[in-house]
Amino acid sequence: MSAPRTAASLGAARGWLAGAALLAVAIDVASKSAAAAWLPGRSVELLGGLYLRLTRNPGAAFSIGTDFTPVFTIVAVAVIAGISWYARNVTHRGWATALGLIVGGAAGNLVDRLFRAPGVGRGHVVDFLYLDWWPTFNLADSFLVCGVAVAVLLSLRNVPLTAAPPTGGDGVHLADTTGGRDGR
């Protein structure tokens, strides 16, 4: 009896992961497209200390490794593939959402690396959120950080990636109590 529950849990978790990833990519791509069209040559203050200011980053976070853009493209593909493979057995919605945000953030920046100038695999990432005390970033970066933060919190709380089958009050798995030799 636990097989359908496990299959349902896997399906639901995959839905949460895919939903989080697709939503993150869609929001990121739309926001970068708007920023690239609207912000060149402008700086717009949104809130105290938060500005919209367009930059293009060939490197990783904090503009580290600007000469290694193709390497970051490969790393993003590896992260997405690795999480996709690893997450095939995840049944916990929190973990699925965290991993989906990480995949979505990595995919959002990968879209830039694949489809923006100066060329395929070498494209510069569009950054447009600027704080006086922090380097310019984008929503994909925010999704990545949020996904990692949720994963760290789940790890610190010892939340398993997979949900255990439900148990009865005596600790016996409910699936084990449905079909003994005597039919009870």
Contact 28, 127 (CB under 8 A): no
Q: Can you tell me whether residue 175 is helix, strand or coil?
A: helix
Residue 167 pairs in a beta bridge with 173
Strand blocks (E) in the chain: 43-47, 50-57, 125-131, 134-137
Q: Can you tell me whether residue 108 is helix, strand or coil?
A: helix
* Token output for 163: 């949900």
Q: List phi, psi (to 5°) of 52.
A: -100, 120
Contact 111, 75 (CB under 8 A): no
| Tally: H helices and E strands in the chain | 4, 4
Question: Which residues are part of the catalytic machinery?
Answer: 127, 141
